[in-house]
Structure 1
Amino acid sequence: MFGEISLRDNTKFNFGEVSVEIKKDNEYFVYTREGKKVIIVGDKISFLPAPAVGYGVKLMMVRLETPLSIAPHEKIEGFLSVPIEVSVKTGKVEIDRFNVGREKYALYGSLESGVIARYAKSMINKKPVGIGNIKVIIENRTEEWGFVEKIVFPLFDTMYYSEDKAFYPLINVIIEKDLEVINTGKPPMEGLNVVGSERSISFRMRW
């Protein structure tokens, strides 16, 4: 499903509720998704995961369906199911882009100075269960119990993928005075393919 594909015959791909069809038309191929059509003069196409930036947001907010209460100096790790986008390319040319997962947004911060973030709700799981996933490691470095009910992290272009799943980079959440969230840029698992370059960025959650 993800990666570069050689086109030969009529093919159908499903990304959650999104269906893509590619049909051979004489010496060409016709790409179709929900009424959008592109004629492909060639025999290769790529489906690559992309961050769910939607209308240009720079943050994603994931609210935990079951909040976490973490004892001093304890940590927990697991996977969250989150929305992604799929970039469809022939060579380096993007011919289509679409959402996988519900497109929802929320205000992060105050009404006066807050920003719009991509929004999702998820349970923390031991293994990745959705098409789009984040691995989080949450560590309490304080002498007091910590409480986590949502995770907000910065988005950038680095993504990872296997044949059937997409992953944001590994996210570290450190409980100190504030919650420090680090998008490490690193792969969450071994053996994944990468889109973009590895880099990290830190973000302090204040709301």
Structure 2
Amino acid sequence: MFGRYYGTFRRECGDILVETEMNNGLLTYRRRCEGRTFERVLVSKTGEFIINPVEPHNLPEDITNFLQIEFPPIVVEPGATQTVYLKFPIEMGVFLESAKDIRVLDIFGLGSQKFTLYGSPTDGLIARWYKSEIYPEIPPVEPLREGVMELSIHNAYTEWAEVSYAVFDTTDMKIYYDEIVAISASMKIIARTLAETNFADKPLRPGMAKAIELHVARKIPMIDRGYLMEWGY
């Protein structure tokens, strides 16, 4: 499904169909995903279509930039670092690229989305919620539905810490893909209820392609800033 396409093409995988066709001299883009459809007529002679995974904060609409992954509790001793693997939800983006510009054409994904409140009712934030098991190595995943997160947890605090979820600002997410979708992330515990999370700009394994980031296509200036979890972990 992921890749670059020019002109007319058709890609179908399970409940997903993405295609373009010529109708009376006009190029039509069409997508079907679990019964949901999207269609646009395009005027393009040189543009390429790019399909790749994107940050999972767009569906069913742009409600939040935050993702909370819940997992079985991990107890980490002071000063210790442990790398584990989690699963996270993915969404797919279709981009139109020409020599002068790139545009987000379509975003879709499999399954439904769940949300939660992280923090207090007055000062907390809404986050997309996802539950994962903990894996000691890269786990098998359902393609086009979920990806693999390599998470490095470091306890910089002076006491033992129990961690059962992590919250991320997905606008900082750096996604790579081949047969699977993957991201690399870190979590630094700095106090009893404080932790910092960040994404690393590196592939999970050699040869993976880097996905186009949405803020690049939307021309939104960004700085890598991570996220400070203030209401526990």
**Category of TM-score, reference length = shorter chain:** 0.7 to 0.9
Q: Where does residue 174 of structure 1 map in the other structure?
A: 188
Could you tell me the TM-score, scaled by structure 2's length?
A: 0.73
Partner AA of 2:208 in structure 1: L
Structure 1 residue 95 corresponds to structure 2 residue 97: no
Looking at structure 2, the residues matched to 58 and 8 of structure 1 have their Cα atoms a distance apart, in angstroms, of 33
Q: Partner of 2:175: helix, strand, or coil?
A: strand
Q: Measure how far apart 1:77 and its partner are.
A: 1.1
Equivalent residue number for residue 22 of structure 1 = 19
Partner residue, 2:30: 31
Aligned mates of 1:138, 1:38 — CA distance in 2:
44
Which residue in the other structure is 2:207 paired with? 191
- Report the counterpart of residue 52 of structure 1 in structure 2: 56
Displacement of 1:86 after TM fit? 1.4
Amino acid at match of 1:99: G
Q: 1:85 to 1:46 in 2, by over 3 A?
A: same
Contact 1:59 1:118 in 2 (8 A): yes
What is the match of residue 139 of structure 1?
Answer: 154
Does the aligned pair in 1 maintain the 2:150–2:185 contact within 8 Å? yes
Q: Distance in 2 between matches of 1:202 and 1:30?
A: 37
Displacement after TM superposition at 1:114 (Å): 1.4
Alignment-mate amino acid for residue 47 of structure 1: I
Unaligned runs of 5+ in 1: none
Q: Tell me which moved more, 27-36 or 90-99.
A: 27-36
Structure 2 CA distance for partners of 1:87 and 1:21, relative to 1, 3 Å: closer
1:112 aligns with one of 94, 107, 122 = 122
Name the structure 2 match of 1:154.
169
Equivalent residue in structure 1 for 2:180, among 165, 168, 171:
165
Contact 2:178–2:209 at 8 Å: present in 1 too?
no
Distance change (3 Å), C-alpha of 1:158 and 1:23: same
Q: Does 1:201 align with 2:226?
A: yes
Which runs of 4 or more aligned residues in structure 1 lie more than 6 Å from their structure 2 counterparts after TM superposition?
Answer: none
Q: Which amino acid aligns with 1:56?
A: I
What is the number of residues matched between the two proteins?
202
Distance verdict in 2 for CA 1:115–1:31, change over 3 Å? same
The percent of aligned pairs where both chains have the same amino acid is 22
Matching residue within 70, 73, 82 for 1:67:
73
Residues 186 and 13 of structure 1: CA distance in aligned 2, closer, same or farther (over 3 Å): same
**Kept after mapping to 1: 8 A contact 2:174/2:201:** no
Q: Is the 8 A contact 1:6 1:45 kept in 2?
A: yes
Shift of 1:143: 4.2
- Whole-angstrom distance in 1 between the partners of 2:91 and 2:66: 14
Unaligned stretches of 5+ in structure 2? Answer: 217-222
Q: State the one-letter code of the partner of 1:144.
A: E
Measure the CA separation in 1 of the matches of 2:29 and 2:201: 36
Determine the C-alpha separation between the residues in 2 that align with 1:157 and 1:74. Answer: 25
What letter matches 1:127 in structure 2?
I
- Alpha carbons 2:85, 2:138 under 8 Å: kept: yes
Q: TM-score, normalized by length of structure 1?
A: 0.81
Q: Name the amino acid aligned to 2:106.
A: D
